[in-house]
Structure 1
């Protein structure tokens, strides 16, 4: 099925709507498509077969996929979503504005729309949000002939499914067995599926977390696993590839968060949306930096008297920040792997304190020697060396503990740990340098 958008002017560099996505390299196709205005993107997709359009849209960056669907006419968007895998379809519905989502759902097949609504209720970090519902299931009373007949009658629908197993359920839709298609094809037609199925198969609950799913697939070399609700009713299948993909997305988002980007961003997105997302982070950092800078203002007379201290302020701040970021990374990783609990603050602090004392001593001694050799003043070396030692201890303590504290209050550690650590290490670093210098001012001038 294709859609007529002849009333929309096409970019003169594009001879046909499908030409943009007919490039030999997907990267080139995505690049050209992303530069088109919204109405021309709709025209390009409308000129494609709906399955080809869905496959192309699924290859786009996630934020762009949502924007493209939101910009399509509801009827076209509904057909496009129906051609996407059920888990992707639900994720898109979740990201759309409520009015846009409802307009599209109204145009979808009622059964598909209801399924999308149910899946959209799940978080994308649990089994229910990762599972697909494209599967074949049969009642326990079925025979081999019943299954084969059904597969032939619904061949067009099942052709797009990743069918390797059939799932057997009882009258209450509870999962009771898994049927391998190889066993099905090699058995007598009158044989009951009960005699062929693998009984009591492993399954995961629909509320199982991403970390638990990762552990499950690490322990079991499965391509996919059935997902059931609390009553054991068959809901869908969670694929190992979906879990790996989501873990990768989470790591990418964590990296973006550390760089001050709240969500995924591509430059083809609307200007003011990109600007507002960045400002949300930058405006907070202005106030955090003012707090740190206020310490310098308190000791401006000391700094004016011993101008050499200005050279070491950024060094001490940066080196302590690096030590703190190492501690943040370790705590974040252990939280993700389940190797530490948010309540184990004292245990984590003890471990980080030991590292901080050793590394702080080594780094403080090194920078102290550099300061002495530069100015020939042992007290300058003592001030900057002691300041780096103390600030390193503070930094690793903060870096190790803050992620646990944030996790305990359901705040994403990746988002908030960085600004907190930066502010504290800057403020404490400036305070230690200038405070110690003030105490020893007569020895420094």
Structure 2
């Protein structure tokens, strides 16, 4: 049927498959597509069509699509499914992904899905979802390739050779050896397994494992993996019992996602927004930041209002006001970006505020002098008034120093007070640099008025 309608788009073909409830044809149609292309096609469908598609496909394929989506979008797709269908897809997801998606869902919908799952699996999901997302507990997965101290090399090798469907979930882990209380006491290398006698006890070839606690923060985890070549580490509870396993890839992904999230927040976007989300939700999220920005801009504009007489007397100043504020804002944003990056890398802390300010002031003095001189020359040549150039150049030089000072230290101040520096640094910097820029230009112009008219 589909081969006879080559002129149809993929989306139209998907709709035909859904209308006929033809799961096999739908699977064949999607097979050549990458997961990202498949997700894009799904988002072109109406919400009820998305649910029908995910329910019609095999659970393992639907799970791969869910894993491709950002967590908030994945939760939205899963919430729209009937609980049994959602639970069947959830069973195919790794436990860390399950916890991430459940954490984005309404409590009622989450519990409905967990009630349909295996009791032990549901307990693991609830446990993982309870940890902070940027800690070892929030990033680990529950599946662990474990053995008892009394087990032998032969038993491990037989497990490797088995066709256990759950074996893939161990993601190439080394075998961990647990004591009677469930605490990791050893780890065995694959090389050691292959060179040892099958009858040898695991305790004869194991080495002491390096562990991390469930509350270890992301920055510390990144440092651990930077220092050691491990692909994974066992994660333990406060009493030393094994809680799960943390992979290097999970830490790398979390660091990247945090950086991307910080960049989005600096633009006033909170959460994993995609355009398939409800219109009012997207609008409300953006307005929360934009509305606050209006107030900040009104404050900056009030400075101009106080100098209306000066502007009226020397109208040329109005041409340079946005240039001074924009150039200073750019310099300040560079300082914000460096501070945000160093905070995320753990290179600076709030207590380093004075050191950061001192270093930024030195940069600001150099860049302010250069930029101020350039714009002063432009104003002088353009308007033929040396004093106008001196006023504009001095204002830009001083405001550049102010901007980099604010941009460098505000993220640290916000971090110290428990605020999100990614969200608030941009608006605060813009308002302060605008106010300072307008004030410097207009106040210097007022002082030099006899030489400007």
Deviations 1:360-389 (A, max 9, x none): 111111111111111111111111111111
Deviations 1:302-346 (A, max 9, x none): 111111011100100011001111111121222222222201222
| Partner of residue 329, structure 2 | 321
Q: Does 1:76 align with 2:85?
A: yes
Q: Does 1:131 align with 2:140?
A: yes
CA contact (8 A) 2:336 2:408 kept: yes
Q: Give, in angstroms, the shift of residue 177 of structure 1.
A: 0.5
Alignment of 1:322-337 (within 5 A): 322-337=330-345
Distance 1:23 1:149 in 2: 36
Distance 1:259 1:72 in 2: 33
Alignment of 1:318-357 (within 5 A): 318-357=326-365
Deviations 1:136-184 (A, max 9, x none): 2122122335545666778232244324421101111111001234544
Q: Does 1:111 align with 2:115?
A: no
Q: Give, in angstroms, the shift of residue 267 of structure 1.
A: 0.8
Distance 2:206 2:41 in 1: 50
Q: Give, in angstroms, the shift of residue 185 of structure 1.
A: 5.2
| Partner of residue 65, structure 2 | 56
| Partner of residue 4, structure 1 | none
CA contact (8 A) 1:21 1:33 kept: no
Distance 1:280 1:76 in 2: 36
The answer to which of 137-146 and 126-135 deviates more is 137-146
| Partner of residue 390, structure 1 | 398
Q: Give, in angstroms, the shift of residue 212 of structure 1.
A: 1.1
| Partner of residue 11, structure 1 | 15
Q: Give, in angstroms, the shift of residue 427 of structure 1.
A: 0.8
User: What is the SS of the residue equivalent to 2:351?
Assistant: coil
Distance 1:224 1:381 in 2: 61
Q: Normalization by structure 1: what TM-score?
A: 0.93
Q: Give, in angstroms, the shift of residue 192 of structure 1.
A: 1.8
| Partner of residue 122, structure 1 | 131
Match of 2:164 among 146, 155, 169: 155
Distance 1:35 1:62, change over 3 A: same
CA contact (8 A) 1:320 1:425 kept: yes
Alignment of 1:341-380 (within 5 A): 341-380=349-388
| Partner of residue 203, structure 2 | 194
Distance 1:263 1:310 in 2: 38
Q: Give structure 1 stretches of 5+ with no counterpart.
A: 1-9
Aligned residues: 435
Distance 1:61 1:344, change over 3 A: closer
Distance 1:333 1:144 in 2: 46
CA contact (8 A) 2:73 2:272 kept: no
Q: Give, in angstroms, the shift of residue 394 of structure 1.
A: 0.8
Match of 1:294 among 292, 302, 305: 302
Q: Normalization by structure 2: what TM-score?
A: 0.91
Distance 2:272 2:76 in 1: 12
Q: Does 1:247 align with 2:255?
A: yes
Q: Does 1:34 align with 2:38?
A: no
CA contact (8 A) 1:293 1:427 kept: yes
Distance 1:361 1:377 in 2: 20
Q: Give, in angstroms, the shift of residue 229 of structure 1.
A: 2.1
Q: Give structure 2 stretches of 5+ with no counterpart.
A: 1-13
CA contact (8 A) 2:153 2:198 kept: yes
Match of 1:223 among 231, 243, 258: 231
Distance 1:151 1:383 in 2: 76
Distance 1:221 1:368, change over 3 A: same
Distance 2:259 2:376 in 1: 38
| Partner of residue 272, structure 1 | 280
The answer to which of 246-255 and 177-186 deviates more is 177-186
User: What is the SS of the residue equivalent to 1:165?
Assistant: coil
Q: CA RMSD in A?
A: 1.9
| Partner of residue 431, structure 1 | 439
Distance 1:420 1:264, change over 3 A: same
